Structure 1
């Protein structure tokens, strides 16, 4: 983490970063001034007075009835956010930030919005219309272009400077994921037909495109390697392919369950692959022949561990996938030999690379899906931020797995979450009510 991020973590509310100014003052407080009115729920006991002025106290039966009645009162909705923005009329599925200035959102209402803090705190500067729910928004590395993609497969590339659409891509069938190259204006995507797409975005539109075809199974996950010359792609038939982008050739490994998530270490030749059955596979990507090699296989919590032989074959049993254990998100720690895994059953596990068992397990009481796990650093302290469908964001100290903070999203499901790079104490969520919220750990 750079020095600017570390300094930003200690700013007070009066010294909010310019990113937070995008949403500053937008929090909608629908509170009325009822200080002088007595609410019915605040009355502890009603004492009746008969015509002769004698008091009639409530009986035990009355108290029992009152207790039962109180049990029917819905739980209080808690909103721990510092700021909020009603970005969409329906669910907000995706958010992205750039340059401490730009905020992009995608929603169920078939539109993406671009907000520019330097122009307006509340009104978008660009509305990008799509054909279906917008589930992907991403800025390129130079932070000059915005890619937005919808479920139908339509992708639009918009220029931040001019607000014009530079390219419209309508070649995919049911988009599964999109990712920008680390350095170049190259966009990758996977679709339901099993195709891995690559487009070079030129000044006047698509300058070049390539197609990397699989076996027809959906291309469900992708991760660009640190060298920028290879990409790992996962498929719904359980295959992981390592594609050489220039040569357009690949090697592969087979697993016993559809691939749902992939991540690669920022500097080491190791990747982790999550599956629908809940297993996580650690693989080596350093072979001179570009062959992938299985290192270990980690089952979901409570499931008997499996082993990997020296030849790289697994003794994993071929059983029907339990979607309840499905790996929804995983991420490798940048500075520690650990990785975090969030599953559909509401569990979050932190593993060590050289161990077949989790070093810690968190299980939410609601048993609802984890949507994303994110690593961040505050000085030398590694944090794991976890967003969940249960409407909470939880922040853990990865050293001892202690829960530092549990933030409530105003009763809305958390559908996307990010940690601001300029200030790791600031967290942003996209919610099921179409609201984008900003939280401060302080």
Structure 2
């Protein structure tokens, strides 16, 4: 029986709520700073493909990509299939086709790179043994898959669904050995992140709740935010996590206590994005001062914590990408694209001693920033396709893999 310590924060627990002052000094970058123009004299957008190589993986949009051992490439698409490519055999012909019932939105290799999990939006999950190319398990228990994650060390798969359930399956040599259900309140389980200890998991829900689960005990504590949770990331080693919401707020929380979470700081979205502002409790306030239906214009789409610096990056639906310091009262930098289309993924990587942030956007562009001075190192065109997923697949040279809206997977070399 689940025991839950419902922990709603009061004012005494909040160290500070930060309202970003437009006059505060910060570096603000825009596309205008980049000398390379993406349009010609006639005003028509020029289609730019800066990729080193490309692969027509799917007949419709490619939603997800994953890479293992710089050999195995997995892709998932709108055409209801996932593919597995073996780069040692062919760069263009898949060695395996995994049939699904709906658009495949998640493809993930386990930690030992022996299993591939593919999940579709309807909730069907297929576990494939890479060596034998045969299905290890088919899971049809979820109702509309929201997210999926492998355990860091064990062959345990986690998933969240529309009914608010956190699922856990232990995969053995002949299929599912054990499964557990961590029930919510019926609100969708929209985000999840396993903690470094492998014994706890943070989950976010459509009603603004974030839960810290003790997996073995099957108990949880919770915080309440005033907007649906859209993204969660946890530091690779430190007891701190960041939580993004639909209203655009980013919240830093402490996971130092083994069985409790505490809110440390709440950052509002950058000002001037649209006419709707967010009050300190996360409620959308219109120009007339009245509460409105919540805007999704500055919804947090992606969060990523730097492994080597006390920084994190947030990509939003309005085309802004902010780099924050963990305990600062303002972003280190704000970038906003002219097109103001969603930043779908932000990824940290190191090039020598330089921390880079690579982000992919619906506007069909990959942008790489040097986080030390927030300068844009490079802007790359994705051949006119929206970037729907992105991986940094190597350093020195810095290589990037993207999934595109026309089913094309591209490889980019920063050098």
Same fold judged by TM-score > 0.5?
Answer: yes
Contact persistence 1:100–1:422 (CA under 8 A):
no
Contact persistence 1:221–1:233 (CA under 8 A):
yes
TM superposition score normalised by structure 1: 0.80
Contact persistence 2:115–2:127 (CA under 8 A):
yes
Match of 1:88 among 41, 58, 62: 58
Contact persistence 1:192–1:220 (CA under 8 A):
yes
Match of 1:420 among 387, 393, 404: 393
Q: Structure 1 residue 411 and structure 2 residue 384: aligned?
A: yes
Helix, strand or coil at the partner of 1:342: strand
Closer, same or farther in 2 for the Cα pair 1:317/1:121, shift >3 Å?
A: closer
Q: Structure 1 residue 343 and structure 2 residue 316: aligned?
A: yes
Corresponding position of 1:296: 265
- Using the alignment, how far apart are the partners of 2:121 and 2:324 within structure 1? 33
* Structure 1 residues 310-329: aligned runs within 5 Å: 315-319=280-284, 320-329=293-302
Give how far 1:315 is off: 4.7
Q: Structure 1 residue 352 and structure 2 residue 325: aligned?
A: yes
Contact persistence 1:430–1:437 (CA under 8 A):
yes
Corresponding position of 2:90: 120
Corresponding position of 1:189: 159
Q: Structure 1 residue 219 and structure 2 residue 189: aligned?
A: yes
* Structure 1 residues 65-104: aligned runs within 5 Å: 74-104=44-74
Give how far 1:422 is off: 5.8
Contact persistence 1:134–1:151 (CA under 8 A):
yes
Q: Structure 1 residue 375 and structure 2 residue 348: aligned?
A: yes
- The size of the alignment, in residue pairs, is 363
Normalized per residue, the structure richer in helix is: 1
Contact persistence 1:394–1:407 (CA under 8 A):
yes
Deviations 1:297-327 (A, max 9, x none): 00000179xxxxxxxxx95253342200100
Contact persistence 2:114–2:130 (CA under 8 A):
yes
Corresponding position of 2:121: 151
Contact persistence 1:82–1:440 (CA under 8 A):
yes
Contact persistence 2:252–2:266 (CA under 8 A):
yes
Corresponding position of 1:247: 217
- Using the alignment, how far apart are the partners of 1:303 and 1:172 within structure 2? 40
Give how far 1:295 is off: 0.4
Corresponding position of 1:366: 339
Give how far 1:74 is off: 3.5
Match of 1:141 among 111, 120, 130: 111
Say what the alpha-carbon RMSD is for the aligned residues: 1.5
Give how far 1:234 is off: 0.2
Closer, same or farther in 2 for the Cα pair 1:168/1:250, shift >3 Å?
A: same
Give how far 1:380 is off: 1.1
Give how far 1:407 is off: 0.3
- Using the alignment, how far apart are the partners of 1:197 and 1:129 within structure 2? 22
Contact persistence 2:52–2:410 (CA under 8 A):
yes
Q: Which runs of 5+ in 1 are unaligned?
A: 1-69, 305-313
Contact persistence 2:397–2:413 (CA under 8 A):
no
Q: Structure 1 residue 177 and structure 2 residue 150: aligned?
A: no
Q: Which has the larger Rg?
A: 1
Give how far 1:356 is off: 2.1
- Using the alignment, how far apart are the partners of 1:87 and 1:206 within structure 2? 30
- Using the alignment, how far apart are the partners of 2:310 and 2:89 within structure 1? 43
- Using the alignment, how far apart are the partners of 1:207 and 1:390 within structure 2? 44
Contact persistence 1:377–1:424 (CA under 8 A):
no
TM superposition score normalised by structure 2: 0.85
Give how far 1:202 is off: 0.3
Divergent runs of 4+, >2 A: 70-76, 314-321, 421-424
Q: Which has the higher contact order (CA 8 A, sep 6+)?
A: 2
Give how far 1:374 is off: 0.2
